[in-house]
């Protein structure tokens, strides 16, 4: 099969279809239509401000005042320049991610909509989010996905799916905020290894599920240096690790290794006791069934 990508395209990078290009054009036209009245309103406000400074009655602002026109022009130019620089930065970032993926066998053709709205645990279950820098590759131990989650906070997430539907389990590094939350009555699970309790705050929808997952081999894996600063989420079919900030290309492989190790260490009886949802369910039915993963106290 011939390669239909244009010159300079990277393997794993999906070119924009005609439909996408048309959609982008329509969006651009709509944005322009919205910007014109916004600029006129801003100019009217600036004219009032200039009138106040000059001592002219504010009910008779001079829209053709040179200072008002110049201020509006500078403001608009600054916004346009900021938008252009942001777009160039995003394009440069996208090319960087695509180049990294092509060199290491990762694919950038990932359905990003399925990466958001799938977890209830914080910080993912608090408001809407957007997935960017999405990558995936198949490993002999499972499919790995890496992406930047941007919601109330930005997180670099690497996840592996398992054929299960487990309740929620969250592990976060035990720091000042977590210690304070615990003292204020935050619902926590503890294990018999005190060093592990001192390092991690454990929250779970079901304590029995947490104890089943956190067996000695898992706790040993989470005590290694490569887990410093990361958080762990086991919810639904997913085993995910995440760290603050945007996707760090230099950490993807190491985070993927941690996620794969944790997914592989899930006991077989845990997977068997929490079978996946049947096929053919609607999105609303899935959301209703998943709503029982967490109690308000656990979050």
pLDDT at residue number 298:
52
- Using an 8 Å Cβ cutoff, are 206 and 169 in contact? no
- 66: β partners: none
Task: Quote the distance between the C-alpha of residue 74 and its chain's center.
Answer: 35
pTM above 0.85, yes or no: no
What average pLDDT values come out for the chain (299 residues) when binned by 10 residues?
Answer: 46 57 73 71 72 65 68 77 77 89 92 83 77 92 93 91 89 73 65 90 90 95 94 94 95 96 94 76 58 54
The pLDDT, as a whole number, for residue 93 is 83
Both tokens of residue 131? 């997935």
Quote the pLDDT of residue 231: 96
pLDDT in the model for residue 219: 96
66-104 vs 18-54: helix axis angle to the nearest 10? 150
Nearest to 79 by CA among 87, 68, 91: 87
Take residue 235 and report the two structure tokens written for it. Answer: 């919810």
C-alpha closest to that of 171 among 117, 116, 83, 230: 230
pLDDT reported for residue 12: 47
Predicted pLDDT at 3? 45
Question: What local confidence, expressed as pLDDT, does residue 136 receive?
Answer: 95
Q: Torsion angle, CA of 6/86/108/255, rounded to 10 degrees?
A: 150
pLDDT at 145: 95
- Give the distance from CA 172 to its chain's centroid: 17
CA 128 to chain centre: 10
DSSP structure string for 217-235: HHHHHTTSGGGTT-EEEEE
């Amino acid at each position: 099969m011939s390669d239909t990508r244009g010159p300079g395209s990277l393997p794993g990078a999906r070119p924009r279809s005609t439909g996408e290009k048309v959609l982008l054009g329509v969006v651009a036209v709509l944005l322009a239509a919205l910007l014109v009245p916004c600029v006129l309103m801003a100019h009217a406000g600036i004219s009032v401000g200039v009138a106040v400074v000059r001592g002219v009655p504010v009910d008779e602002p001079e829209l053709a005042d040179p200072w008002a026109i110049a201020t509006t022009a500078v403001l608009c130019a600054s916004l346009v320049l900021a938008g252009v620089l942001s777009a160039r930065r995003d394009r440069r970032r996208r090319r960087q991610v695509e180049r990294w993926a092509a060199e290491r066998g990762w694919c950038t053709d990932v359905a990003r909509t399925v990466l958001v709205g799938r977890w209830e645990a914080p910080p993912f279950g608090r408001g809407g989010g957007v997935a960017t820098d999405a990558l995936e590759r198949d490993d002999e131990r499972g499919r790995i996905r890496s992406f930047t989650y941007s919601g109330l906070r930005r997180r670099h997430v690497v996840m592996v799916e398992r054929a299960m539907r487990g309740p929620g389990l969250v592990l976060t590094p035990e720091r000042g905020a977590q210690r304070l939350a615990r003292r204020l009555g935050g619902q926590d699970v503890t294990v018999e290894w005190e060093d592990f309790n001192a390092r991690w705050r454990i929250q779970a929808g079901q304590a029995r599920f947490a104890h089943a997952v956190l067996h000695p081999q898992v706790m040993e894996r989470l005590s290694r240096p490569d887990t410093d600063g990361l958080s762990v989420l086991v919810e639904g079919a997913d085993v995910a690790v995440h760290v603050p900030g945007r996707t760090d290309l230099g950490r993807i492989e190491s985070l993927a290794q941690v996620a794969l190790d944790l997914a592989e260490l899930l006991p077989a009886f845990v997977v068997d006791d929490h079978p996946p949802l049947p096929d053919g369910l609607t999105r609303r039915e899935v959301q209703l069934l998943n709503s029982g993963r967490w109690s308000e106290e656990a979050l």
